[in-house]
Amino acid sequence: MSKIRVHSLAKEMGISSQEMVQKIREVGLDVKSYMSTIDEETAKLIKDIIKKKDQKNQKKIKEKLQKSQEKVKETPISKAGPQKPTNSVKTIQKPVKIKGKKPEKTQDATPESIIKHEEPEVCVKLVEAITVKELAEKLSCPVNQVIKKLMEIGIMATINQVLDTEVALSIAEAFGIKAKAISIEGVELIDHEEKDESKLVLRPPVVTVMGHVDHGKTLLLDAIRKSDVASREHGGITQHIGAYKVTLPEGEITFLDTPGHEAFTAMRARGAQITDIVVLVVAADDGVMPQTKEAINHAKSADVPIVVAINKIDKPEADPQKVRTELAKYDLVPEEWGGRTIFCEISAKKQIGIENLLEMILLEAEMLELKANPDRKALGTIIESKLDRGMGPVATVLVKNGTLKIGDPFVCGIQSGRVRAMINDKWENVEHASPSSPVEVLGFSGVPKVGDSFVVVCDDRKARQISAMRQEKQRTHGLAQTTRMDLEHFLNKIKEGEIQELNIVLKADVQGSVQAISEALERLSTPQVKLNVIHGAVGAINETDVLLASSTNAVIIGFGVRPESKASALAEREHVELRLFTIIYDLIDTVQSIMKGILKPTYKEIILGKAEVRETFNIPKAGTIAGSYVLEGKISRGCKARLLRDNVVVYEGKIGSLKRFKDDVKDVQNDYECGIGIENFNDIKIGDIIECYMLKEVEATL
């Protein structure tokens, strides 16, 4: 039986919603508000009650209503029309007939005898960047009422005006409706959790290859893909996340290759968060190393199963059993030892054990029963992004659910756009991307951040609305944070005294490198030198970067990018230091050298000798001369000296004169007597110790 809302019934009868609620309650139905729904038969009877004022007819209608109302249900408002009835059912007690006895008189089936059950609270979900019209639909009230409430709080809005979620929540509260704000990603995740089992299909597993630097991760992928990526990596190390889809006779696998250098911790963390299985590559000759432990922690925190690949077993010094023993300490116990972790011995260089490793990965994926719905709108994650000179902003998207198609409008962080083109890992143009597929997407309004959610929305207008709202929020938050940080920085300088600072403008080829290098550089800050990455972005070094560096006295660092010709000329004119790198090690070492260079020089004190004062002489025009005996080392004229009395420093100055008998000398060695004159000091007493020393400049360390 179809339902009708109380508000709609009131509108039909030409009375207010509150009055209609009151009328229904007088009949005996416990409706919560004008958002509640009643069935059509009940609505017809209520209309008869309102139309027929005499008590006789009203009584008859009430009796008819009571007989028809065996169950009364109320449904909460949903974001997409009527929902299924809730379990909050009101039942009417009926007399029980017992054979041979008259039925006991029971309470009439009047509305007062309705058993009340506790009902779940209705909570309306308000999506970010909601318009006035959409808000009115969510709250099931007229648009003019919503506009009136907005005017009461000082906001003049039209029917298509986009509202901030905080304003929308306050309007819902004003109508007495409980609501909560959710992001567009939240809506998609909720939709995805409401799984239609009939539409779910098996999807390829997303496998992340992790491990210590130079343990053979990229070489393993080369062996699987029959490619040669490792030889193209700068310095022989992977510095970006690579995503590849491998087709095997048994099925497909999507591989993510993460960097092994410690500076790329954030990249490895992102890899673990979007993966289904982690392949931990450990060199048989090296064993467990720092980044190996870090990869284990990332996988465990993401609750992802680990398959261990013991690489380089072809080397004479390889010791796979040692690797097993070391990993067992981290709860990675091999299956042959009674544990649950799969171990595979391989040699990526000599193609040994690769097929067995792939079989084990597919076996693990089969146990996980990974499924997705390809008929949904796509939901994915940005695993890399960059600014291409010819194609504009480009990002690598890993599709988690749904199917991504050409022309789909989307929202990604503060960016939006429409999919103009897609390129797979084989550099082929594709029309669509299924779940677990990595594709490069063109059509972004700007370069998105790595790790941002990629969500396909209903239309371009909605995408632009959400993007504009997020940008405004980010701008407001950034201004507030900048003001606060500047004040804190100023107060700290007053409190702690002036400290040395090194400002850096960072430009890199991809967003992942910007993030990883920024974090690595900021960790270099010390109490002596504070390092600030004042700007980090992707793309070539341009004139704007040079002007920013000039105004903030910063050093420009480029990683995998080159400066534009005009930028180079401007940097030379403005005397801005510009450094370019392709290897992370060189970049960090150079920055540390720059930090050492701006430190004030430090000095180490070297004691040259000590002399004891045994007699004093007052010489006209020369002052007090200390007749002394050199106890150790030597006393040199012109060197720094301090006068100690009972081991307390009385004076620090300089040795002005030094004599042996009547002759001026440069040095006096130990076990010799001499006359010592201290510049601008005459209060010398017998028994004082004169300590002669020098200061040697020491190279600054961080």
Confidence of residue 272 (pLDDT cuts 50, 70, 90): low
Residues 379 and 453: beta-carbon distance below 8 Å: yes
How confident is the model over 53-76, as a mean pLDDT?
51
Is the pLDDT at 141 greater than 70, yes or no? yes
Q: Which residue spans within 292-389 are E strands per DSSP?
A: 306-311, 342-345, 371-372, 379-388
Nearest residue to 441 via CA among 408, 394, 398, 406: 394
Q: What is the pLDDT of residue 435?
A: 92
Nearest residue to 65 via CA among 95, 106, 96, 24: 24
Collapse the DSSP code of 552 into the 3-class scheme (helix H, G, I; strand E, B; otherwise coil) and give the result: helix
Collapse the DSSP code of 355 into the 3-class scheme (helix H, G, I; strand E, B; otherwise coil) and give the result: helix
Q: What is the pLDDT of residue 145?
A: 86
Q: What is the pLDDT of residue 420?
A: 93
596-648 pLDDT, tens per residue? 766 666 778 889 999 999 999 888 878 899 999 999 999 999 899 999 998 88
310-358 pLDDT, tens per residue? 999 988 888 999 999 999 998 899 988 888 899 999 998 888 888 889 8
Confidence of residue 485 (pLDDT cuts 50, 70, 90): very low
* Amino acid at position 299, single letter: A
Is the pLDDT at 649 greater than 80, yes or no? yes
Confidence of residue 73 (pLDDT cuts 50, 70, 90): very low
Q: What is the pLDDT of residue 188?
A: 56
How confident is the model over 242-248, as a mean pLDDT?
81
Q: Which residue spans within 348-481 are E strands per DSSP?
A: 371-372, 379-388, 392-401, 404-405, 409-412, 415-423, 429-430, 432-433, 438-444, 453-456
Q: What is the pLDDT of residue 167?
A: 84
Task: Pick 289 or 501 by higher pLDDT.
Answer: 289
Q: What is the pLDDT of residue 120?
A: 41
Confidence of residue 100 (pLDDT cuts 50, 70, 90): very low
Neighbours of 484 (CB within 10 A): 10
Residues 257 and 384: beta-carbon distance below 8 Å: no
User: Can you tell me the distance from the alpha carbon of 531 to that of 425, in angstroms, rounded to the nearest whole number?
Assistant: 37
Q: Which pairs from 251-254 meet CB under 8 Å and 24+ separation?
A: 251/204, 251/362, 251/365, 252/204, 252/436, 253/204, 253/205, 253/207, 253/358, 253/361, 253/362, 253/365, 254/204, 254/205, 254/206, 254/207, 254/398, 254/436, 254/437, 254/438
Residues 611 and 630: beta-carbon distance below 8 Å: yes
Q: What is the pLDDT of residue 268?
A: 59
How confident is the model over 275-281, as a mean pLDDT?
90
Residues near 213 by beta carbon (within 8 Å), at least 6 away in sequence: 237, 259, 260, 261, 262, 291
How confident is the model over 264-279, as a mean pLDDT?
70
Count of H-run helices and E-run strands, the chain: 18, 37
Least confident interval from 2-11, 202-211, 564-573: 2-11
Confidence of residue 186 (pLDDT cuts 50, 70, 90): low
Instruction: Calculate what percentage of the chain has a pLDDT beyond 70.
Output: 77
Least confident interval from 28-37, 208-217, 537-546, 611-620: 28-37
**Secondary structure letter of residue 3 according to DSSP:** E
Both structure tokens of 42:
């009940």
How confident is the model over 145-155, as a mean pLDDT?
84
Confidence of residue 232 (pLDDT cuts 50, 70, 90): low
- Most confident of the following: 234-243, 300-309, 468-477: 300-309
Q: What is the mean pLDDT of the chain?
A: 78
What are the distances in angstroms from CA 57 to CA 16, 109, 358?
Answer: 24, 19, 80
Confidence of residue 99 (pLDDT cuts 50, 70, 90): very low
All structural domains of the chain, each given as residue ranges with its CATH number in brackets, are: 3-113 (no CATH), 124-182 (1.10.10), 204-369 (3.40.50.300), 379-470 (2.40.30.10), 499-597 (3.40.50.10050), 602-698 (2.40.30.10)
